[in-house]
Amino acid sequence: MYAIPFIYMIRWSTMTTGQVYDPDLFWPFPPYLENYSYVWQQHPVPWWLLNSFIVTFIGVTVGTFVSCVVAYGFARLDFPGNRVLFIVLLSTMMLPEHVTIIPVVIIFRDLGWLNTLWPLIVPGLGGGALAIFILRQFFMTIPIELDEAARTDGASRVGILFRVILPLSKPAIATVAALAFIGNWNSFFLPLIVLNTPERLTLAVGLRYFAAGQYTEQLHTLQMAVAMIAVVPVIVIFFFAQRHFVRGITLTGIKG
């Protein structure tokens, strides 16, 4: 049932404009692949794809690493205000992005970052509240005795994190990385506000501008071709991370 929209997306992206409105044609044969070459050559789709990959790659790698470090501090370090800070962190998840968009855009304007990728990259470098929560809960399921054994062997806090905690937390890390990929790749609201040059857009916003453009007669076929280009990386990432993703979600929150 959930695959029906995806099947129709493939169908429309491989049709001519006339075939879309043909009630007797269910599936085009041979497929009309010129839609893909047209949007790739006549529109800045390669730039949109590159911008999305840059933002997503940095957000996934740096954001996931920082989230691991912060989550380790919440899970293993007993410092004053640990629980209070963790609750404050979780409370930020309840604050909609739209509430803070005006001061955020003003800050980016004062920094001279409007119409650049920096507003999409820098906020994610500190990790995310949901990612920190998932990792912290998973870290707490790892027996503390492993830390003590490593400390007896002379390992430092950093050594324990990299040699004990992270190798045992691959399902949670894969879960956080997959969520970060989907979140950055599909991000729409902030890029829509801060980006205004066609070549600077990400793929999600570029798809919206493409739909609102001048090619209304070819809307179904060309828009679906761009949509397919946008959705394939997400499907590939989820396919490879599915096993770790399900296990990470299942084990998160068992303890603590």
What DSSP string describes 172-217? HHHHHHHHHHHHHHT--HHHHHH--SGGG--HHHHHHHHHTSS-GG
Domains and CATH numbers, the chain: 4-251 (1.10.3720.10)
pTM of the model: 0.85
Question: Which pLDDT does position 23 carry in this prediction?
Answer: 72
* Percentage with pLDDT > 90 across the chain: 39
Whole-number Å distance between alpha carbons of 67 and 180: 11
Tokens linked to 199: 């070549």
**Which H or E run includes 54?**
helix 45-76
Which whole number is the average pLDDT over 37-60? 92
What pLDDT is attached to residue 98? 84
The answer to whether the CB of 119 falls within 8 A of the CB of 54 is no
Higher pLDDT, 238 or 241: 238
> What DSSP character marks residue 218?
G
Q: So what's the pLDDT on residue 84?
A: 92
Q: In a 3-state reduction of DSSP, which class is residue 66?
A: helix
Q: How confident is residue 254, by pLDDT bands cut at 50, 70 and 90? A: very low
Q: Which pLDDT band, with edges at 50, 70 and 90, does 58 fall under? A: very high
Q: What is the pLDDT of residue 139?
A: 92
Closest CA to 203 of 25, 28, 50: 50
pLDDT at 4: 83
For residue 107, pLDDT over 60 is answered with yes
Contact 211, 199 (CB under 8 A): no
- What percent of the chain clears pLDDT 70, i.e. is strictly above it? 89
Q: Which of 40-49, 87-96, 192-201, 245-254 has the least mean pLDDT? A: 245-254
Who contacts 248 (Cβ-Cβ below 8 Å, separation ≥6)? 134, 138, 171, 172, 173, 174, 175, 176
Find all residues with CB under 8 Å of 108, minimum gap 6, and list them. Answer: 114, 118, 119, 194
SS3 119: helix
In angstroms, what CA-CA distances link 40 with 12, 44, 47, 188?
A: 17, 7, 10, 21
Only one residue has tokens 């690493």, namely 65
What Cα–Cα distance (Å) separates residue 56 from each residue in 17, 28, 99, 121, 180? 33, 34, 24, 8, 8
Q: What confidence tier does 256 reach under pLDDT thresholds 50, 70, 90?
A: very low
> Residue 253: its pLDDT value, please?
47
